[in-house]
Structure 1
């Protein structure tokens, strides 16, 4: 028992230390019940949760919905209620325990600390170095900044990355049982937390590591060992995928039809006449919008090289502050201005690994003799190239079009999370070798001088001569430069240089302190004691370095008592619209409708905010809705009479076919009611079958959708033999609405062609007439159409995608299977330990 306590006691202390660190950093949340004002999280709460809560209260036993009509006219897999499969005990209980610290804040860092500490222990580093590495990884600035932004699932997937590498390390060392367990857990938890892009980057790094392992085994002619390890890894990946089949199916299915899928429209030439290669995923310009700059990579060493965040602050010692005071301006204690000068539209802060971490990384590349360091380095360089995006277009254009799945992802700069993982691994690995005295003196001196010269030298140049490397001018400066005096811009440039210079000196100090510890270690007589002191000293220095930079971007001022749902209080416009219970309809908020979720919290919105909206809906926005929106805004601004506004609404056929009954132009005023909205469904008198998507979208510019339906010829078989016949007495009404089930009643003397003001999405939706399944097709680019026979009928649309249902069952039972395997592994190991000690 004493041996067991001695063996595990230090790990328990490490966990308590990690818990203490995150509780102190996130103390307003832990002790005062406050929450971080996370923009993306607030928007996520607005994605129709209010409506889904309402529907869930009346849900029938076993009912589920994976469709929401809250945003963009209707979308699958965004939010919902219920599950198609039974709930089973799951391996994610491990995930749940770690997240109890604070799901939306502290737990994200805690997961990273625990995961990296586990990796360090498996790599055989001493206790203090394991803690130092965990701090270096978990408190890197990007991991803190994304918490402030509300990128919750991304933060967890980043946090679990070291677990996968820990499993690989054990497997490569022929520790097959726990290597398989950790590799399985790492991959499974990465997928379960649901940020595919980060998982994709991790897969790329793992491929580099695996190639290095394969080459090593081929050289050793250990083919059997290689095959055994490979089969175990393949089996683990399959097992990890199965419990996440539901989420992965949703992502895959939606990606086929979203902005991450291919367009059907023919690309238009640019101003020079060049036609850009068609992407099978996102538009390239959109995907590369957030690309890191070549020189901006200096922020990994000196955080304020590029001015920090957009809208950064300057204090009273800044040149701009002094100039403003000199010119009689009223300014407070701090001044918010354009400190960031990179080429991104905006940024929440820099990617900073830590000055001492960078120094140790370079040193580690010199002193570590294991060839695997080169594969880690190669993976890190490759992912850095990806993060450069448009700033390394020759490379990334090739990757964008030919690297599998890569064009499905945007904000490519987040690929820097992989170097952010590799730097502390190699840095702590190298330090372990030095403190264990496994590095010969010549190699050590060479590595020390090179690492100090490279990292320290850059800091010295940026400190003393920042303008030698950088000009501190942004392409976006032109947007405000002509609106301010020349002295304002001159002072701002000086302050940008000062920010870089001050942080360069700061980084230099941390590097010199770390280097000083190593020099002291070389001269110390008691190497064992000195190693402990150096390890602890490095841990403290890394914590002090990263903690103080992190507090620039996430501190107590970011925490509030108000919960995200409390941000969505009913406005005057909301109250008025909610009084209307006559069937269902949609609402347009003319205030930045494609980037807000306030409207969708209470209503069925024409707009919304989501990274994977349906591509056809986005193209409808681009080709029709934006123009109609501008027309309404123009009419509201210039209208002399109410008739002027009504005329503008009548000239919005696409908004009207989407049944846009209300327009919100000022949330604290009565909304504008649109009398021209077509309703939930209607019969048309004419049919226009067109050749392709180009003709289909073009037709919307000329037809009246209330009279004519435009249908792509691919659906022609569903219309064989049909001839539109006008029936002025025919009616079709929506009788019952739920997100996943819509029921209509129709009455007509002749067969009719009905158009439903609902987004067409296949596979998933099925249609029945009087209980018999019938085909339906896409009409008017985005809506649903159907032939309706003469007489009185009940028409029902159900959203129950069979692939999603099957995936849900697979996920539920597979999660339980993995839990059983984990219990079996723990039981087997415990029995082996007991058996060994008994003997």
Structure 2
């Protein structure tokens, strides 16, 4: 009992150390109440959440909405309110311990620290080595950089990864109950925090690990244990998926309809006349836009090997600064310069594992004798190859087209989160084997020499001869149009940045090697092992902390009022908000990269990584041309009336009911009198055979007069010819994101076109309360045959799959909570009983 209490005291002290470190790093937010200017999170605030709040406040009991008209004319699952499922206690209550610190920043790091500490304890590391591992994993530069960028859900899914591996480790050790608990929790938390790409990468790593276990048990012919562990893992995985099934369903369904799904259009030929192989997911070039360079992998050891982040700064000692000052430029203590020179168009910072971690990883590969290290290594190596993307095209082209679901994801460099998990595992594992004297002197000696040669040798070369391995030139440098003397100065500074950091890494490698060497020659190995553990912890902490502060420091935090000012109403907003009708707004300033417009209005543009495929193609083939024509007209227009002719020549914007055009937020918007309104009756129907013909027809027709119908919907208008009726009317009577009510009046049957995005499954239509079919017209809009007379037409967004998934999620989450309480209670009871008997 006393030993048990002593161990718990150690763990509590360790958690307190991790907590204090987190609070100190994030003191501006945790203590001072400041917030980060997280670009992606700020954009997410404008994706429709603000508009949803006003409808949520007036929602009826039980009402829910999963459709937002704030961006791209409307799309599902980007902003929601309400829940179609009962409100039951959920297992995710365990997250409150982690997320209560400071949800958008500090809590992510604290979660990662605790979860990796747990994994290290499961693997048998001392509490000092577990602390070292926790810092090595959670303080890796990528984890801090994504916080500054606002990738919040990604940060949490990364932070929870070690829990899944801890569960697997316990299961392999025949500790089935706690193994099942942790594996279930790890998978469930990964899925429910809803960053499927990271979960996908974790699944691949787990598959490699499981294959290693499978081979091991087959060799031993231990079929019973293999079957038991496999059964537990499968059962836990199935159960773990259920509490996240609503998010999974939303992602799956949207994935079929978004740019992550297949296109119906024939691919356009490239500039060289070749045609890219048709993808069932994202376009390959888009998916591989952020690919890590082969030599850029040096940043895992030397952070500034490729210049750090885009838009870096150089001090007064730099050649670029001296050149600028000599040229008469006004400069302060630092000057901003394009220090990054890698293969990406821009980056916030490097993926830096840490010099000490890299050294320990190589050392671990030499000294760990458990064959499972090779399966971990293979998983990390495989993900490294995926992260190279277009820079290893022969491999990744095959993976993109044939690895299941892989073409649904972009930013392939993200795969480096798995090597970032594997490296500290093997590194601390190896150090544990050394300090527990499970590795022979010869093994340690060989590993020490190998680790020094590889990590120290690379650092030495880049320090003394940086140009031997690195070029310091980028294909993107031409865009800066720097004079030759300035460019040469920049190249020298890039080389200096790499050289200085290489020396820095070399020193950390040498200090780490010295600690290992000290243990090798020490007589009192038990005492020295403790000091080596402490020393490695300090080295890892200092190494990563100081690099992290380059990219996330006190300067990144601002008073809340400064962040809230991001979405202050502009002059244009104030003018548009006076109009209480339902319409859409076009912002001419980067319309498809901003969310300021969608914060207040129904926007033609927006920003989302999974916009509807049909809408993206409407942008590519129609909207962009019309937007360019409006922009061009500013050179000739002398009054607002001069724009009216231009607006008349923008049929696609008009059919999307674009009433206002923002050209300068500080000025009143342009009014578009040619907007077609919320709904209208057409005189003609044009049937086309396929997607290519449907898109081409938009160049020829006036959507106000003619509806283009794909052959697949022809049965709904077969034999029907709209009859002219000058008295016919159709008007939008009420609007909510999930429900639109129209009133129609006509002497004859009509074909009504609605300026709303067609999306199936989900939208249900009724006429006078009776279900009716509706069809897609004009590539993207809804239409319906409306009978003669006066009728109430209602569209409601009630996706059946989403509703079922929400109920499954609620009940399964409650079930897991109950199972966890029972399992933990049983485990504690048996432990207490066993301790009492002893």
TM-score, with structure 2 as normaliser: 0.99
Within 5 Å, which residues of 2 pair with 1:813-828? Answer: 813-828=811-826
Shift, 1:639, TM fit: 1.3
Shift, 1:326, TM fit: 2.1
**Pair 1:649 & 2:647 matched:** yes
**Inter-partner Cα distance in structure 2 for 1:834 and 1:455:** 48
Shift, 1:546, TM fit: 0.3
Shift, 1:100, TM fit: 0.6
Within 5 Å, which residues of 2 pair with 1:82-93? Answer: 82-93=82-93
Q: Greater shift after overlay, 828-837 or 213-222? A: 828-837
Q: Greater shift after overlay, 567-576 or 721-730? A: 721-730
- 2:465 corresponding residue in structure 1: 465
- 1:79 corresponding residue in structure 2: 79
**Inter-partner Cα distance in structure 2 for 1:225 and 1:560:** 55
Partner of residue 681 from structure 1, selected from 654, 663, 679: 679
- 1:571 corresponding residue in structure 2: 570
- 1:111 corresponding residue in structure 2: 111
Within 5 Å, which residues of 2 pair with 1:358-507? Answer: 358-481=358-481, 484-507=482-505
- 2:773 corresponding residue in structure 1: 775
Shift, 1:838, TM fit: 2.8
Partner SS, residue 476 of structure 2: helix
Partner SS, residue 250 of structure 2: helix
**Inter-partner Cα distance in structure 1 for 2:328 and 2:439:** 62
**Pair 1:297 & 2:308 matched:** no
1:42 and 1:565 in contact (8 A); partners too: no
**Inter-partner Cα distance in structure 1 for 2:518 and 2:686:** 84
1:343 and 1:475 in contact (8 A); partners too: yes
Shift, 1:558, TM fit: 0.2
Shift, 1:721, TM fit: 2.6
**Inter-partner Cα distance in structure 2 for 1:661 and 1:617:** 19
**Inter-partner Cα distance in structure 2 for 1:759 and 1:234:** 40
- 2:713 corresponding residue in structure 1: 715
2:640 and 2:670 in contact (8 A); partners too: no
**Inter-partner Cα distance in structure 2 for 1:838 and 1:163:** 30
Q: Greater shift after overlay, 219-228 or 419-428? A: 219-228
2:687 and 2:714 in contact (8 A); partners too: yes
**Inter-partner Cα distance in structure 2 for 1:143 and 1:575:** 39
**Inter-partner Cα distance in structure 2 for 1:595 and 1:737:** 27
- 1:586 corresponding residue in structure 2: 584
> Which structure 2 segments of 5+ residues have no match?
none
TM-score, with structure 1 as normaliser: 0.99
1:685 and 1:726 in contact (8 A); partners too: yes
- 1:96 corresponding residue in structure 2: 96
- 2:266 corresponding residue in structure 1: 266
1:63 and 1:84 in contact (8 A); partners too: yes
Shift, 1:602, TM fit: 0.6
Shift, 1:640, TM fit: 3.0
1:574 and 1:602 in contact (8 A); partners too: yes
**Pair 1:157 & 2:157 matched:** yes
**Pair 1:282 & 2:295 matched:** no
- 1:144 corresponding residue in structure 2: 144
Aligned-residue Cα RMSD (Å) equals 0.9
- 1:181 corresponding residue in structure 2: 181
- 2:167 corresponding residue in structure 1: 167
**Pair 1:665 & 2:680 matched:** no
1:759 and 1:782 in contact (8 A); partners too: yes
Shift, 1:565, TM fit: 4.0
Output one character per residue of 1:151-202: Cα deviation in whole Å (capped at 9) or x when no partner: 0000000000000000000111111101000000000000111100000000
- 1:228 corresponding residue in structure 2: 228
**Inter-partner Cα distance in structure 2 for 1:2 and 1:208:** 40
**Inter-partner Cα distance in structure 1 for 2:668 and 2:18:** 52
**Inter-partner Cα distance in structure 2 for 1:293 and 1:57:** 49
**Inter-partner Cα distance in structure 1 for 2:821 and 2:445:** 49
Partner of residue 762 from structure 1, selected from 760, 763, 769: 760
1:282 and 1:407 in contact (8 A); partners too: yes
Output one character per residue of 1:49-107: Cα deviation in whole Å (capped at 9) or x when no partner: 22111111111010000000000000100001100011111110111221111100000
**Inter-partner Cα distance in structure 2 for 1:306 and 1:716:** 57
Partner SS, residue 638 of structure 1: coil
Shift, 1:3, TM fit: 4.0
**Pair 1:335 & 2:342 matched:** no
**Inter-partner Cα distance in structure 2 for 1:835 and 1:640:** 88
Partner SS, residue 76 of structure 1: strand
2:70 and 2:598 in contact (8 A); partners too: yes
Within 5 Å, which residues of 2 pair with 1:8-19? Answer: 8-19=8-19
Q: Greater shift after overlay, 199-208 or 432-441? A: 432-441
**Inter-partner Cα distance in structure 1 for 2:198 and 2:822:** 30
**Inter-partner Cα distance in structure 2 for 1:271 and 1:3:** 72
Partner SS, residue 46 of structure 1: helix
> Which structure 1 segments of 5+ residues have no match?
none
Partner SS, residue 346 of structure 1: coil
**Inter-partner Cα distance in structure 1 for 2:272 and 2:140:** 43
Within 5 Å, which residues of 2 pair with 1:785-796? Answer: 785-796=783-794
1:758 and 1:783 in contact (8 A); partners too: yes
Shift, 1:343, TM fit: 1.4
**Pair 1:595 & 2:560 matched:** no
1:45 and 1:565 in contact (8 A); partners too: no
Partner SS, residue 792 of structure 2: strand
- 1:628 corresponding residue in structure 2: 626
Shift, 1:5, TM fit: 2.4
**Inter-partner Cα distance in structure 2 for 1:177 and 1:514:** 38
2:441 and 2:520 in contact (8 A); partners too: no
Shift, 1:519, TM fit: 1.2
- 1:562 corresponding residue in structure 2: 560
**Inter-partner Cα distance in structure 1 for 2:22 and 2:596:** 32
Output one character per residue of 1:453-507: Cα deviation in whole Å (capped at 9) or x when no partner: 11000000000000001110000111123xx321100100000000000000000
Q: Greater shift after overlay, 159-168 or 326-335? A: 326-335
- 2:747 corresponding residue in structure 1: 749
Shift, 1:515, TM fit: 0.6
Output one character per residue of 1:107-161: Cα deviation in whole Å (capped at 9) or x when no partner: 0000100000000000001110000000000000000000000000000000000
**Inter-partner Cα distance in structure 2 for 1:431 and 1:794:** 73
Shift, 1:837, TM fit: 2.6
- 1:246 corresponding residue in structure 2: 246
**Inter-partner Cα distance in structure 2 for 1:192 and 1:838:** 39
Shift, 1:598, TM fit: 0.4
**Inter-partner Cα distance in structure 1 for 2:69 and 2:423:** 45
1:661 and 1:675 in contact (8 A); partners too: yes
Q: Greater shift after overlay, 320-329 or 594-603? A: 320-329
Output one character per residue of 1:757-793: Cα deviation in whole Å (capped at 9) or x when no partner: 0000000000000000000010100000100000000
Shift, 1:562, TM fit: 2.5
Output one character per residue of 1:501-548: Cα deviation in whole Å (capped at 9) or x when no partner: 000000000000111111111122110110000000000000000000
**Pair 1:48 & 2:66 matched:** no
- 1:810 corresponding residue in structure 2: 808
